[in-house]
A and B are shown apart, each in its own frame.
Chain A
Amino acid sequence: MIDNNTMTDSSVIFKRPESLSGKVTHYCPGCTHGIIHRLVAESLDELGLRERAVGVAPVGCSVLIYNYFNVDFLEAPHGRAPALATGFKRVRPDMIVFTYQGDGDLASIGMGEIVHAANRGEKFTTIFVNNAIYGMTGGQMAPTTMPLQKTTTSPFGRDVNLAGYPIRMSELLSTLRTPAFIARGAVHTPFHTVQAKKLIKKAFRLQKEERCFSLVEILSTCPTNWGIDPCKSTQWLADNMMSYYPLGIYKDPEKEGTK
């Protein structure tokens, strides 16, 4: 039986999160930054954190992230976002601070800053987007580039004898003794996107509860610089990246009995 009242009552069931500004992004077709931005924004909204959030933008494709969010933002030098976040969070522990960094920013030039921020247990959240390549500068080899993957600076494929193997940041950081929440997700299917959202939201919840440092790594696609169309890119990620970068929770203060 159809209830006429329900039929005519237009209640909003899906809308843009308040934490997003609504500006059109500059990201390439098939790039997953937009999805990850939304997951971060939804998490801030749902936990009621938007009005006391400060984001720290990286250098890389997401350098202009501050245009797409409706929260205060700082623009960091390349790789230094965790140092800026440390500085801000230490003097304003009542605020919610997060960095949003790519793999060149975090795993290459910013390796020192992220390792020490995690090791000190700085109580901010890092969203680490790993697409296995330098995007903004036009597709150069990253520390996360897969063995034999072709880039503009590894035209014959990454040679592991000269460039080493891709760095697994979540695994590396989870070896640190300091309690932290460290997890890896992906957004190349709706299922994985829902799972990734849970990780991101948990990271922010732990910060809200003043628990620990939190980092969520998200495997991401870069169709433009991979030279693969968007649909095939998601398949490339599943075929090539997921076995080397397994999804899951690497470190969880709620499972270690830490407080």
Chain B
Amino acid sequence: MAKKLMKGNEAIGEAAIAAGALNYFAYPITPQSEVAEYLCWRLPEVGGVFVQAESEVAVGNMLFGAAASGKRVFTTSSSPGVSLMQESISYMAGAHLPVVMVNIMRGGPGLGGILPAQSDYFQAVKGGGHGDYRLIVLAPASVQEAVDLTLLAFDLAEKYRNPVMIIGDGMIGQMMESVTFPEKYREPSSPEGKPWALTGAKGRPAQITKSLFLDPEQLEQNNIKLAAKRDEIKKNEIRYEGYKISPENKILIIAYGSMARICQTAIDEMEQEKVSVGLLRPITLFPFPEKAIYDEAVKPNIKAVLDIEMSMGQMLEDVERVLKGKKPLEFYGRTGGIVPTPNEVKDKIRAILGKGGKK
């Protein structure tokens, strides 16, 4: 299929249609309102459902109701809006429903700002809502990858009957890049082959979709089921990408999303200074590429691991956990909507090597 020049936000909307997900519920919030502005005319064209809800609280719960039908459903929002959806995320996880949610992150906390940030890592990866559940969390680094991961997100959500969160920063949403969509779009999703879907008690006993288990043993069983799913996801779904990974690397950068692309520029420029730096970019933030990071980090030439984020250090805690103290861990981050430049990354690398025994 021919390449198209598209804004990340619109491309995500089109990718969902390509995935056969024709049911979208949303509330406007900067910097991702273009998704709703795109889908409000695009979905009716393909026989889909577009609902502008009265709040993100309602959005999450409309998704909850719609997901129980067995059809593919999704929303997009940004940080403060996603906070309001946490109630429904917890309920949908507890009720084992597939749903795809996109968070085009802006700076927080509170109303924060409207510029790009990566400060919702904890919320997406560690919880957000109450109870013992995990989300599958995907982090695209380009508009094309946002399209590819949107397609993947719906498959993963259905495979595990679990909510999937795509977190991109404001740059992914606002940036225009060339993208290609699948040659053949999926058929509109349906309840077929989904015995868990509510389709009416015709020729079968009545079915209940719920997260309420007043009997503690039943509730524990539901949590055991969720934990088993979590372990399956950790076993099967880890995705990451290396950039200029080599035995010569002195520094191993860990960064995701747009931040990883900025680091690539810094890495290219450091080559001219004869400093070899590699990048390992988690594509799945949950499950986290623990073994891949550890295996690269412990290679003999690596002087330090450098975690770079558009936050004050959230993924950092996972990297620290993975390293088990085997290598020094450094951090660089900007926040509030300020994006670290390649020069800032390079300065940090030079500082580490200066301190760490540059030959």
Residues of A within 8 A of B (CB): 21, 50-54, 56-57, 63, 66, 69-77, 80, 83-92, 95, 112-113, 115-116
Q: Is the CB of B206 within 8 A of A91?
A: no
Q: Give residues 16-59 of B contacting A (CB, 8 Å).
A: 23, 25, 49, 51, 53-55, 57-59
Query: Which of the residues B51, B69, B199, B206 comes within 8 Å of A86, measured between beta carbons?
Result: B51
> Is B88 part of the binding interface, using a Cβ–Cβ cutoff of 8 Å?
yes
Q: In the complex, what distance in Å separates the CA atom of A250 from the CA atom of B65?
A: 28
Q: In the complex, what distance in Å separates the CA atom of A224 from the CA atom of B105?
A: 49
Q: Is the CB of A74 within 8 A of B62?
A: no
Q: A91-B23, A91-B49 are in contact. List 20 more A-B contacts (CB 8 A).
A: A52-B200, A53-B200, A54-B198, A56-B65, A71-B201, A72-B200, A74-B68, A74-B208, A74-B209, A80-B61, A83-B59, A84-B61, A86-B51, A86-B53, A87-B63, A90-B23, A90-B49, A91-B66, A92-B71, A95-B199
- The minimal Cβ–Cβ distance linking B92 to chain A, given in whole angstroms, is 10
Which residue of chain A is the closest to B214 with respect to CB atoms? A64
Residues of chain B within 8 A (CB-CB) of A75 are: 95, 208-212
Q: Is the CB of B206 within 8 A of A69?
A: yes
Which residue of chain A is the closest to B90 with respect to CB atoms? A77
Q: In the complex, what distance in Å separates the CA atom of A84 from the CA atom of B73?
A: 13
Q: Is the CB of B87 within 8 A of A88?
A: no
Q: Is the CB of A90 within 8 A of B209?
A: no
> Is B154 part of the binding interface, using a Cβ–Cβ cutoff of 8 Å?
no
Q: Is the CB of A72 within 8 A of B54?
A: no
Q: In the complex, what distance in Å separates the CA atom of A201 from the CA atom of B54?
A: 29
Residues of chain A within 8 A (CB-CB) of B341 are: none
Residues of chain A within 8 A (CB-CB) of B51 are: 86-87, 90
Which residue of chain B is the closest to A18 with respect to CB atoms? B201
Q: Is the CB of A113 within 8 A of B73?
A: no
- The minimal Cβ–Cβ distance linking A39 to chain B, given in whole angstroms, is 19
24 contacts between A and B (CB under 8 A): A54-B198, A56-B65, A66-B208, A69-B206, A70-B206, A71-B200, A72-B206, A72-B207, A73-B207, A73-B208, A74-B209, A75-B212, A77-B91, A80-B87, A83-B59, A84-B64, A87-B61, A87-B62, A88-B198, A90-B66, A92-B71, A95-B199, A112-B57, A113-B61
Closest 7 pairs (CB-CB, A-B): A87-B65, A84-B65, A75-B210, A83-B61, A87-B66, A87-B62, A51-B202
- The minimal Cβ–Cβ distance linking B196 to chain A, given in whole angstroms, is 11
Q: Is the CB of B207 within 8 A of A88?
A: no
Q: Is the CB of B71 within 8 A of A51?
A: no
Query: Which of the residues B59, B61, B91, B206 comes within 8 Å of A73, measured between beta carbons?
Result: B206
- The minimal Cβ–Cβ distance linking A137 to chain B, given in whole angstroms, is 14
- The minimal Cβ–Cβ distance linking A97 to chain B, given in whole angstroms, is 8
Q: In the complex, what distance in Å separates the CA atom of A90 from the CA atom of B61?
A: 13
Residues of chain A within 8 A (CB-CB) of B61 are: 76-77, 80, 83-84, 87, 113
Q: Is the CB of B58 within 8 A of A83?
A: yes
- The minimal Cβ–Cβ distance linking A256 to chain B, given in whole angstroms, is 24
- List the count of A-B residue pairs having beta carbons below 8 Å apart: 127
Q: In the complex, what distance in Å separates the CA atom of A112 from the CA atom of B55?
A: 9
Interface flags, B188-229, vs A, CB<8A=1, else 0 = 000000000011111000111111100000000000000000
Q: In the complex, what distance in Å separates the CA atom of A108 from the CA atom of B211?
A: 22
- The minimal Cβ–Cβ distance linking A96 to chain B, given in whole angstroms, is 8
Q: Is the CB of A91 within 8 A of B198?
A: no
Which residue of chain A is the closest to B202 with respect to CB atoms? A51
Q: Is the CB of B58 within 8 A of A88?
A: no
Residues of chain B within 8 A (CB-CB) of A51 are: 200-202
- The minimal Cβ–Cβ distance linking B207 to chain A, given in whole angstroms, is 5
Task: Name the residue among A69, A73, A87 with the largest chain B CB count within 10 angstroms.
Answer: A87
Residues of chain A within 8 A (CB-CB) of B200 are: 51-54, 71-72, 95
Residues A70 and B53 in contact in the complex (CB < 8 Å), given A75-B210, A77-B88, A91-B71? no
Q: Is the CB of A88 within 8 A of B65?
A: yes
Q: Is the CB of B65 within 8 A of A52?
A: no
Q: Is the CB of B25 within 8 A of A116?
A: no
Q: Is the CB of B210 within 8 A of A66?
A: yes
Residues of chain A within 8 A (CB-CB) of B59 are: 83
Residues of chain A within 8 A (CB-CB) of B55 are: 112
Residues of chain B within 8 A (CB-CB) of A83 are: 53, 57-62, 64-65
Residues of chain B within 8 A (CB-CB) of A95 are: 199-200
Q: In the complex, what distance in Å separates the CA atom of A51 from the CA atom of B58?
A: 27
Q: In the complex, what distance in Å separates the CA atom of A149 from the CA atom of B71?
A: 46
Residues A88 and B88 in contact in the complex (CB < 8 Å), given A66-B210, A70-B206, A76-B64? no
Q: Is the CB of B65 within 8 A of A116?
A: no
Q: Give residues 113-171 of B contacting A (CB, 8 Å).
A: none
Q: In the complex, what distance in Å separates the CA atom of A83 from the CA atom of B211?
A: 17
Query: Which of the residues A69, A70, A73 comes within 8 Å of B209, measured between beta carbons?
Result: A73
- The minimal Cβ–Cβ distance linking B200 to chain A, given in whole angstroms, is 4
- The minimal Cβ–Cβ distance linking A89 to chain B, given in whole angstroms, is 8
Q: In the complex, what distance in Å separates the CA atom of A74 from the CA atom of B202?
A: 16
Residues of chain B within 8 A (CB-CB) of A52 are: 200, 202
Residues of chain A within 8 A (CB-CB) of B210 are: 57, 66, 73-75
Residues of chain B within 8 A (CB-CB) of A54 are: 68, 198, 200
Residues A80 and B58 in contact in the complex (CB < 8 Å), given A87-B73, A95-B200? yes
Q: Is the CB of B91 within 8 A of A88?
A: no
Q: Is the CB of B69 within 8 A of A84?
A: no
Which residue of chain A is the closest to B191 with respect to CB atoms? A92
